[in-house]
Amino acid sequence: MKYKCVVVDLDQTLLHKDKSLSDLTAAAFAQLETEIVVATGRAIVRTQRYAELIHARSMICTNGSIVYHQGQVIYRQELDSQKLTDLIEVLRKIEPVHITLFYPTEVYTTNEYFVKKGESLRLDLDHFNPHEIQRIFVVTSNHAAIQSINFSAYGMKAVPLSEDGDIFVITAQHVNKGNALKALCDHLSLNLKEVVAFGDDYNDLEMIQEAGCGVAMANAVPEILAAADQQTLSNDEDGVAVWLQKHRSDFA
């Protein structure tokens, strides 16, 4: 079967460690005539520039909580506002802790470092909008406190970031890039078998499993390497571009 869709994660997959996109990678995507999708943990404001560079018409953002096609929202999964408010009361008691709330186009944090850098707005935990929040970042060295919380009771889950074990990503329980990919394929009338997906981290697992061909980066975590159908070079070696060029004849 010929592939009609390429789905690619950004950090540690498409991008180099310095967050740059190589000329080789840009050229490889320019040659594609298939549907191109960016699937990332980032919000849209930090995704759109890269999507434009590789001519992606679709974006799966914040680990699959929202999907855009040609600028329109076609799928979203938000955190329950009341349960989120209750959970925040538990999280803020952890010591030490920084909390970051991700809305569709804005980010609020208690971490003054990112506020001063202009990357986020200041979060007041006594007065915040509990609606339309798509995910939460909790930064703490107190892992025992996080592990003691029954996130499923709030309809949520917490997953640590592989590159920093003190960062926990909280999303709705059924949010993942795989479910978002299925929703996008339904919208585009694509068969999942016609999709090739590239990833490296835990949040790419369901996407790698759902795609007709899941490709792991050489720098991927063991779970992704085990789940993938194929493997390519690392992100700093332009593994995505190298694979696309090698398999050019496999695309419709």
Residue 152 near residue 173 (C-beta atoms within 8 A): yes
The pLDDT confidence band at residue 225, using thresholds 50, 70 and 90, is: very high
pLDDT score of 159: 87
% of the chain with per-residue pLDDT over 90: 90
Residue 10 near residue 49 (C-beta atoms within 8 A): no
- pTM to 2 decimal places: 0.86
Rounded to whole angstroms, how far apart are CA atoms 197 and 212?
A: 8
| Statement: residue 165 has pLDDT above 90 | no
CATH number of 81-172: 3.30.1240.10
Mean of the per-residue pLDDT values for the chain?
95
| Statement: residue 92 has pLDDT above 80 | yes
The pLDDT confidence band at residue 252, using thresholds 50, 70 and 90, is: confident
- For the segment(s) 5-76+175-250, the CATH number from 3.10.590.10, 3.50.50.60, 3.30.365.10, 3.40.50.1000 is 3.40.50.1000
- CB contact set of 70 (below 8 Å; sequence gap of 6+): 57, 58
The pLDDT confidence band at residue 60, using thresholds 50, 70 and 90, is: very high
Rounded to whole angstroms, how far apart are CA atoms 15 and 47?
A: 12
| Statement: residue 207 has pLDDT above 80 | yes
Give the mean model confidence (pLDDT) for residues 4-10: 98
Q: Where are the domains of the chain?
A: 5-76+175-250, 81-172
| Statement: residue 1 has pLDDT above 80 | no
| Statement: residue 188 has pLDDT above 80 | yes
